Structure 1
């Protein structure tokens, strides 16, 4: 019988084995995923340093927005909506049919609703006292 290990140490090699295994399993079931990273970044015009943006991937004809952040001084001026629009445009160009993401109740669920995303599920008390919302948008 194989041994089982529990650890809090990151192991890139082990993660690679698990990722490659699930990707192969999924591909056998539904064909190639077309998995590609996607970033839409905001850079300081003078230094070129990244100030914020969004990162995610296109996979199986869907865009997944994994991370999205803008510093306070860049919020509420339409820049966030522009980043979402650019990510969606690239996803459409890659043949995607929609986008999905998750957001905590203390983050930006209303922002995503304003961008046309609809909630398809949530997890209460994740973290305790808050809600984790799951949104999608069909193009």
Structure 2
């Protein structure tokens, strides 16, 4: 069989799942299971119970990857960002993780993360153009 190459911006969940299955099978055969588990710490509105912000990530291969972290502007400066990361770190440690990694742009929260003990381990200049993206880690 010779597969077709199909470029699309409308791929579905089944397409992602097919790719992920192959990658997981390869990784498992090479280094063993990743132990991947989702991890979320949510900020909920007490009146509506709706999520207004929080942290979204996953533990995998003994590290917590923080994919998303946002505190609504009206709540910033009240310690919620620190609380989200502290709670996620406690859970990551409970899951046996060695550390946390994440990325942020120069116009976002690099200084905030560094105050919490994260260190830059890489960056991409010009992403987006005229700016910089940083990759940070905190080891336990």
How does the TM-score come out when normalised to structure 1?
Answer: 0.97
Aligned residue for 1:95, secondary structure, equals: coil
Asked if 1:32 corresponds to 2:33, the answer is yes
Question: Which 5+ residue runs of structure 1 have no aligned equivalent?
Answer: none
Matched residue, 1:110: 111
Once the two structures are superposed, the pairs formed by residues 1-139 of structure 1 within 5 Å of their partners are 1-139=2-140
CA distance in 1, matches of 2:99, 2:8: 36
Question: Which 5+ residue runs of structure 2 have no aligned equivalent?
Answer: none
RMSD (Å) for aligned C-alpha atoms = 0.8
CA distance in 2, matches of 1:78, 1:11: 38
Greater Cα shift, 70-79 or 56-65? 70-79
Aligned residue for 2:69, secondary structure, equals: strand
Paired residues, number: 139
Aligned residue for 1:3, secondary structure, equals: coil
Runs of 4+ residues deviating >6 angstroms: none
